[in-house]
């Protein structure tokens, strides 16, 4: 049985799902919006130039490879990790959910992360 994470106090969601496409040549903003909205209209889809995506992928440990192809070609393979990454708004990695994804386990783990007190800053 799958559980949902409740909205925070006052209906404010304490989390945001962001789907990052590593294939900006084929994934236009409109295509990303349609794809992520299929799952939940609150989800965001983003992408960027390869030189913008590479540091993010390196920082959180995403393995990716885009097959060499002619400019403008739509016939190429993109290999990438299938994990879900939990980061904070500053981009710090807090957890990795490897495939296959188990909604109940993810919900339980996310609830535990959200219930931890914020670290104090010196």
* Residues 91, 92, 95, 99, CA torsion sign: positive
Structurally, how many domains does the chain consist of?
A: 2
User: Is 5 inside a domain boundary?
Assistant: no
Query: Measured between alpha carbons, how far is residue 106 from residues 55, 73, 82, 95 in Å?
Result: 26, 37, 14, 10
Domain assignment present for residue 47? The answer is: yes
β-strands 44-46, 18-20 pairing: parallel
Predicted local confidence at residue 32, as pLDDT: 92
Q: Domain check: are 63 and 23 in the same one?
A: yes
The CA-atom distances, in angstroms, between 12 and each of 7, 58, 83 are: 6, 31, 26
Q: Does 9 fall in a domain?
A: no
Q: What is the pLDDT of residues 10-61, one digit of tens each?
A: 555 667 888 999 998 999 889 999 999 998 898 999 999 989 988 888 888 8
Which of the two residues, 99 and 116, has the higher pLDDT score?
99
Query: How much is the pTM?
Result: 0.75
Tell me the pLDDT of the chain averaged across its residues: 83
Residue 8 has pLDDT above 60, yes or no: no
Structure tokens at 100: 């296959």
- 24 and 57 both lie in a single domain: yes
């Amino acid at each position: 049985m799958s559980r949902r994470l409740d909205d925070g106090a006052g209906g404010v969601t304490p989390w945001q799902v962001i789907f990052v496409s590593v294939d900006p040549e084929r994934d236009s903003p409109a295509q990303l919006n349609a794809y992520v909205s299929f799952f939940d209209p609150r989800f965001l889809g983003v992408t960027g130039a390869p030189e913008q995506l590479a540091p993010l992928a390196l920082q959180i440990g995403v393995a990716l490879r885009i097959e060499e192809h002619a400019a403008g070609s739509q016939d190429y393979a993109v290999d990438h990790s299938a994990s879900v990454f939990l980061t904070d708004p500053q981009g710090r990695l807090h957890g990795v959910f490897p495939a296959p994804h188990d909604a109940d386990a993810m919900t339980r783990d996310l609830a535990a992360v959200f219930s931890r007190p914020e670290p104090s800053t010196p």
